Structure 1
Amino acid sequence: MLLINKIKKLVITLVCYFLVCACSLALKTDNSKPNFIIIFTDDQGYQDLGCFGSSNIKTPHIDKMASEGMKFTNFYAQTVCGPSRAALMTGSYPMRNARNDNGDNPHPKLALSEVTIAEVLKPVGYKTGMIGKWDLAGHNPELFNPDLLPMYQGFDESFFTPGSNDARVHLIRNKKLVEKNADMSTLTKRYTNEAIHFIDKNKEQPFFLYLAHTMPHTKLAVSEAFRGKSEGGLYGDVIEEIDYNVGRILDYLKQTGLDENTYVIFTSDNGPWWIKKDHGGHAEPLRGAKTSAWEGGFRVPAIIRAPGKVPAGKTSENIVATIDLLPTIAKIAGATVPKDRVIDGVDVSEIIHGTSTELDRPFFYYQHHILRAVRKGKWKLHLAHGSYTKSIVSRKWPIHSAPKDRELFTKPILYNLETDIAETTDVADENPKVVAALLKLLDWAKQDIGDINKRGENARPVGNEPYHTPNNLIPIDKK
């Protein structure tokens, strides 16, 4: 009997031991997953970093980030705020996204049926946080849909403003209004404080943080510590404050031992806002700006840093885009990309890890709901402009571009971006086979993704789908 009791105790002890080991192994495996931080600025031009050629804006922290990671010189977002955020979150062209509106608004109200990066990562153990400008429930700071906020799109925690800061900013934590008419000069620092708090709170498990700065979208505002410090005027002050706060996050990752297990991605939502003049940034040597289909509207600065994972001091000239981040992050994290819909982005993990330098894919330029151009390799083809007099693109957007960039094309125009990055010389007549091949790609996009007045065959629906019951968000008025 004594022997039997000893055997029972031994068995129980061994079972407990193996359970503890299994739990420890599971915890270790979970903690071994890398963290991801996306820092997304607003209306920051291609040139508006030191490492991308700025002569009067100093960005030592982001420049160091580039020297310790990989810089992308052919990185694409979308040409305006809301669509750019939709593309980033879903890995799809905004024209393909399901929307909870009638489709006429340039800034989509993203339907809950869409799957965001946060929703891809949560099933594999990630804590998810969103800080900053949301802009996917409505662009107006008061007239937004409270049922389409970050907490309903996969984010565990959020501290954000619903839309842009054209006039004012209201701050919401999760679903509670915490501050009306916030002081915009405090936003960059406050967002960063919130980001560091989120990292600290969740450092024992894998996390995904989406930090979408309100700046340098106008109205520009900067704290006293940075006011008048930049040679680039108020706009430069704003960028230099962002740079300092990016440095705070990178320093905190080092202090907490998270540095080598965290991918930090820095980029912008679109090009600079030309109509804002000195407050609008710079895209040189690119042509055009925000709202246009020129390179200056879509091509943005981008850097990815992850010590020991992303090779340091490298520059990639591959065509990469915000739509690639969802499938790439999913691959690295061991998560599953949605199989029930078309995802336009491609997994570029081998590119950012330096194990491959080959990437051959087209990129389509949508100016809101109008297909304007395609790039493949060094070639970019602009379509002839149709007569879209009722479209907001035709009615309102031309004034946002310099007069020389408002020209209408009566035939397809081809540029060799390898030798003509500023899109100055049409070479269509000399390259008829290239034009024909790119026109076929554009025809495919019209059919599959869509074009003005036409939903693509694989586009998700537009309309007022069912969504969550109203969540008692405190109403906001302008007072």
Structure 2
Amino acid sequence: MKTTNWITFICGICFTGFLQAQEPVKVTGKKGYDQPNQYLVKKSTVLAPNMEPVMVNEQQNSNVKKKLADLEKKYGKKPNIVIFLLDDVGYLDFGFNGGGTAVGNATPAIDRYANNGLILSSAYSQPSCSPTRATIMTGQNQIHHGIQSPPMYGQPGGLEGLTSIAKLLSGQGYTTQAIGKWHIGENDGSQPQNVGFDDFRGFLSVSDMYTEWRDEAFNPEVVLSPERYDYINKLPFNKSDVHAVKGGKVENLYEITTDNIQDLDQKWMQYGVEFLKKQKGSKKPFFLYYGTRGCHFDNYPNDYYKGRSAARTSYSDCIVEMNDIFNNLMKTIEETGEAENTIVFFLSDNGPEAEVAPHGRTPFRGAKGSTWEGGVRSPAFVYWKGVIEPRKSDGLFDFSDLFNTSLSLAGKPGADLAKLVPASTYIDGIDQASFLLDPNGVSNRRSVFYCWNEKVAAVRVDEFKFVALPQILNSVVQAGHIGGFSGTVQQSAGSNMFNLYTNPQEDETIGIRHIPMGIPLQAEYLRYLEVLKKYPPKKQIGLD
């Protein structure tokens, strides 16, 4: 009872005067400084019953509202939106996060755009690719949209019945284009052209599903067994690079093999370049969702990139190729005169797939499939020429925020978004437009929740992370490449809490010593459990 009273007391505290600068603030007569992007003892505001509460930063909201109005007046349309989503790429793979040349794969073009934009050091995905992609599309975490693990080889999954970002942006007058990896469902109602995209070019599943059962170096037990090979070949999943237009059927362009997959990213890049060229001078803004094939295993570098990285691994060669692909798309945006009216989000769908070498790098504990930082903290930046000033921020940003932020840029900010989705739909995203576009912007998000299937595994507020369901990645095996899909999940004893600034490796719990910070942190965890009572978890596909 005493704990409950303390939680109620802490949650009831309301502080005013949120920080509006990136510099620490000295409070007269008090010890120390107040830091930007720190909200542990501040109260959030509910904008709508079915939306996550936000931190209201009035001045930056006002500044950015005017900035966006001036831009629309100048260009005669809302801003273009590009989401460039890599596959299984690690936080430390790029120079702007300390990797790049230092790990044997130079990324000069990516680094240049990152360093001229807003680098987000605490941007969070879901633990694996399909959940993350569905989160971007719906503004919901995997607990709410129900796609909790990747559908493989004909397994069910999908977006059918959910409200997608493409559908809503289309309703706001946007041309909507999807290119590359989809992997959110192959059933007709979940395909890109049926959830709001005007056009789609790419594949419906995931890289290894097109090659691993064809490659005797990886799966000789399949390739060298005719009956097993035929079994996989007859499973109900699409095996082609495809094209589709809104409301139409998928057209199979050609079947993907171990020979031609090496050119897939180049073909998609060219399709993207052609799309961008068509948008030159258009009166309509565009939304481009671009999901690369790289660098999900298995990587088959084409002749130009084979051995081109200093590391000379198939993975690092692929990173070098991704650098060039991103550069070519960005150059096209520049050449078409759209750069100053285009916001670009650069992200990876999760951390590195550590079970299969060679793979990406992360400085954090864990990897893809886990809710340790290495599984969900993504390399990320946001670029908008002449609009976003170069800076770095550790303000919390969740991939669900892409949904709200994109709709805000399209003219539906804050609570206006709640009117565009069913009342039964809970939006986990936050409108972060003012955070990104104000030169002194701070995050509008108080907390990030880490999801494991339909459960909340952990919560972060400020630098503190409370873990309710820790994953023990080496609890089953101790040899080989151990990643997030290995090991077991256990119930915490109750005091597993980490300071991600002093201990980003998450190997030293501070729960007992730092109870004063643990109380409001656990209160936030309990708040979201109450949300789940009103908006229950949904499960379409999961691991348990």
CA distance in 2, matches of 1:104, 1:417: 26
1:332 Cα deviation after fit: 1.3
2:252 to 177, 199, 202: 177
1:69-110: CA deviations, max 9, x gaps? 1111011011101101011111111111166xxx78778723
**Residues 53 and 82 (structure 1 numbering): CA distance in 2 closer, same or farther, change over 3 Å?**
same
**Cα deviation, residue 402, structure 1:** 7.7
Q: Which residue of 1 aligns with 2:84?
A: 39
Provide the residue aligned with 1:401 in structure 2.
Answer: 483
What secondary structure, in the 3-state scheme, does the structure 1 residue paired with 2:392 have? strand
Quote the residue 2:378 is aligned against.
300
Shift of 1:60: 0.6
TM-fit CA distance, 1:266: 0.7
Q: Report the TM-score when normalising by structure 1.
A: 0.80
1:154 aligns with 2:196: yes
Q: Provide the residue aligned with 1:23 in structure 2.
A: none
Partner Cα separation in structure 2 for residue 404 and residue 97 of structure 1: 24
Instruction: Return the alpha-carbon distance in structure 2 between the equivalents of residues 376 and 435 of structure 1.
Output: 10
The alignment's TM-score, normalised by the length of structure 2, stands at 0.71
Aligned ranges for residues 245-324 of structure 1 at < 5 Å? 245-277=325-357, 279-284=358-363, 286-311=364-389, 313-324=390-401
Q: Distance in 1 between matches of 2:324 and 2:285?
A: 25
Structure 1 residue 331 displacement after superposition: 1.0
1:334 aligns with 2:411: yes
SS in 2 for 1:331: helix
Alpha-carbon offset, residue 329 of structure 1? 1.2
Preserved contact between residue 131 and residue 149 of structure 2 (Cα < 8 Å): no
Q: What secondary structure sits across from 1:445 in the alignment?
A: helix
Q: How does 1:455-470 map to 2 (within 5 A)?
A: 456-459=533-536
- Between the aligned residues of both structures, percent identity stands at 27
Summarize the alignment of residues 312-391 of structure 1 with structure 2, pairs less than 5 Å apart.
Answer: 313-335=390-412, 337-339=417-419, 340=423, 341-353=425-437, 354-384=439-469
The 8 Å contact of residues 97 and 110 in structure 1, kept in 2 or not, is answered as: no
Q: Structure 1 unaligned runs (5+)?
A: 1-26, 138-143, 388-393, 450-455, 465-479
- What does residue 162 of structure 2 align with? 114
Aligned residue identity for 2:446: R
2:288 aligned with 1:217: no
Q: CA deviation at 1:224?
A: 1.1
Give secondary structure in 1 for the equivalent of 2:378.
Answer: coil
Post-superposition Cα deviations, 1:16-66, rounded to whole Å, max 9, x if no partner, equal xxxxxxxxxxx9888422111111001000101111111122001100111
Residue 271 of structure 2 aligns to a residue in which SS? Answer: helix
Give the deviation of 1:160 after TM superposition. Answer: 1.7
Decide whether the 8 Å contact of 2:113 with 2:383 is kept in 1.
yes
Once the two structures are superposed, the pairs formed by residues 175-254 of structure 1 within 5 Å of their partners are 175-182=250-257, 183-203=260-280, 204=282, 205-232=284-311, 233-254=313-334
Q: 1:452 is matched with which residue?
A: none
Provide the rounded CA distance (Å) in 2 between the counterparts of 1:66 and 1:402: 28
**In the alignment, which residue of structure 2 is the partner of 1:474?**
none
Cα distance in 1, alignment partners of residues 320 and 98 from structure 2: 15
Is the 1:90–1:117 Cα contact (8 Å) retained in structure 2?
A: yes
Question: 1:105/1:85 Cα in 2 relative to 1: closer, same or farther (>3 Å)?
Answer: closer
Farther-moved stretch of structure 1 (82-91 vs 346-355):
346-355
The residue matched to 2:337 in structure 1 has which SS? coil
Cα distance in 2 for partners of 1:334, 1:423 equals 40
Amino acid at match of 1:75: A
CA RMSD of aligned residues (A): 2.9
- Offset of residue 436 of structure 1: 3.0
Instruction: Trace 1:159-170 onto structure 2 (pairs within 5 A).
Output: 159-168=201-210, 170=240
> Any idea what SS the aligned residue of 1:363 has?
strand
CA distance in 2, matches of 1:155, 1:288: 35
2:253 is aligned with what amino acid?
A: V
Contact 2:240/2:255, CA 8 A, preserved across alignment: yes
> Does 293-302 or 114-123 show the bigger shift?
114-123
Q: Which amino acid aligns with 1:72?
A: L
* Aligned partners of 1:83 and 1:106 also within 8 Å: no
Distance in structure 1 (CA, Å) of the matches to 2:509 and 2:459 = 15
- Per-residue CA shift, 1:279-301, capped at 9, x if unaligned? 221011x1110011110000010
CA separation in 2, counterparts of 1:37 and 1:370?
A: 31
Matching of residue 126 in structure 1 with residue 168 in structure 2: no
Kept in 2: contact 1:385–1:410 (CA 8 A): no
Alpha carbons 1:130, 1:155 under 8 Å: kept? yes
Confirm or deny: 8 A CA contact 1:288 1:405 kept in the other structure.
Answer: no
Q: 1: CA distance between counterparts of 2:344 and 2:179? A: 15
Between the aligned partners of 2:394 and 2:196, the Cα distance in structure 1 is 32
Cα 1:413–1:64 change in 2 (3 A) is: same
- Asked if structure 1 preserves the Cα contact closer than 8 Å seen for 2:495 and 2:512, the reply is no
Counterpart in 2 of 1:438? Answer: 521
Aligned to 1:471: none
The count of residues paired between Structure 1 and Structure 2 equals 414
SS in 2 for 1:96: helix
1:58 aligned to which of 82, 93, 106 = 106
